[in-house]
Homo-oligomer: A and B are copies of this chain.
């Protein structure tokens, strides 16, 4: 049987950086050409980076992206390049489906873009064809129907090195009875799938399952290429792979890093049952030398996946936005400890600064635990007592309120004074402030607006508190294996969580124990269950009512949080679009 040498260029583009992304594509293309590949596939929308969001509403941006595509096309030789980008509907005769009814939008002041999310097939210096994405996800973090119209008509197929190749963009591969099946029925024996598929816990298993199902359904081999890297709240894990038509995993790229994955794939080379016109690109394979079986990277544990996602998401948010250094308020608590460890893994100890800011209520151990952490990580730590500012504000507020600030007012005050100090340091040095709130706190509003939630990037905002502990243990275990000093002080793992904003305060004074809280939050927030449904499922009604109310009324706080890495199937942010003004409080019945 003939075989193709295929490559998946798992790249880390930057949104909007058309020139930089072209350079990355052209470099990988050159390498694939050099290595005798017959085709090299790039991620979805690799020229613009994914997701370009409302940059797509700028006609000038779309025109510039097309010029970038032409530069890549000009760089192609014998190796066929399949590159994700955006084009206006109708470019080169590209077919898209118009909406249900005609919408000339007569007299409307809001114009709706007529664009397509395409795979461009390039060879020998020119654009051979554009293939439009058909299934446009418009759920979860995806808004593709905001910008794109779906592809329609027969599937373009390409004969490359004797194989019949079909092209699917992301979602097109994920549906059963969808475009992948159609193109296989029309004759494809290799499906090239361009993706920008963001990470969430368990996504890698799901992806492997979908690819197996699709191979079984279509009888085709699949070359799956995914973007890698962080983009605001999203992190893309890569995990590109080649699955043979019998379901065998030929090759898999490592997660969370750029990689050019190469494998030789046997094809039937049959022309039977090919119903549509096939574009001839090459008759025989260019490959030289021995067959390449492809490398299969080991899968990661769930904790390793989550930790690496947080590290890469943080590194890229900082790097792509021009920050070299970060500053963290170190309280000696487990959240700031984990954030510091992630930051050091992301940008290096030399670039991370800790500031300990004890108040009159801080315990001695918070100071010593923070110092122990800094020693273990090798980062510089300063200590600034907030008492002078605390005293000044107590005085100023007393005059205004007619009494000394107490209770929540005083607790929030301390938290905000720390934020003012950190932001002053940030303004003076150019370091970004990393905030340390976890998802359980974000959910319940157990944080101070403009206080501990203030900063440029909220590293662990999508990590539930129970997982914060797991990730700390994972990081220490990894250190144990490699022989480095475990970064997380044991005391931090064992002491009860506390905000230390009043004497002897513990989280459990205000919140249920995290082992009880987190499963209810997962059901209420991530699985969209209502309070009565949770009660019906056996949870304590008083507890459910209290937690649901906390989550609902904290929406205004979450709206003002910095972005952070999404690692679950539903993060706060553009993944969960709840109204702030929301009076839905379903009746929990008699009890």
User: B-contacting residues of A (Cβ < 8 Å)?
Assistant: 14-18, 20, 51-55, 57-61, 64, 97, 99-110, 112, 134-135, 138-140, 143, 145-146, 150, 152, 174-179, 202, 206, 209-210, 213, 230-232, 316-317, 320-321, 355, 382, 384-386, 388-389, 391-393, 395-397, 399-401, 405, 408-409, 412-413, 416-417, 419-421, 423-425, 427-429, 449-450, 454, 456, 528-530, 532-533, 556, 559-563, 569, 574, 576-586
Which of A321, A559, A560 gathers most chain B CB within 10 Å?
A560
Which of A100, A150, A395, A413 gathers most chain B CB within 10 Å?
A100
Q: How far is A138 from B54 in the complex, measured between Cα atoms in Å?
A: 13
* Cβ B60 vs Cβ A581 within 8 A: no
Residues of B within 8 A of A577 (CB): 53-54, 143, 146, 574
* Cβ B420 vs Cβ A393 within 8 A: yes
* 14 intermolecular pairs with C-beta atoms under 8 Å apart: A15-B584, A54-B577, A55-B579, A59-B530, A100-B135, A107-B206, A108-B206, A230-B581, A389-B396, A392-B392, A400-B425, A559-B562, A559-B563, A560-B562
Q: Which residue of B lies closest to A562 (CB)?
A: B560
* Cβ B321 vs Cβ A14 within 8 A: no
* Cβ B428 vs Cβ A397 within 8 A: yes
Nearest chain B CB to A327 CB, angstrom units:
10
Q: Which residue of B lies closest to A401 (CB)?
A: B428
Residues of B within 8 A of A17 (CB): 583-584
Nearest chain B CB to A51 CB, angstrom units:
7
Q: Which residue of B lies closest to A584 (CB)?
A: B16
Q: Which residue of B lies closest to A201 (CB)?
A: B109
Contact of A177 among B64, B104, B317 (CB under 8 A): B104
Nearest chain B CB to A264 CB, angstrom units:
29
Known: A134-B101, A584-B18. A529 touches B60 (CB 8 A): yes
* Cβ B102 vs Cβ A15 within 8 A: no
Nearest chain B CB to A476 CB, angstrom units:
30
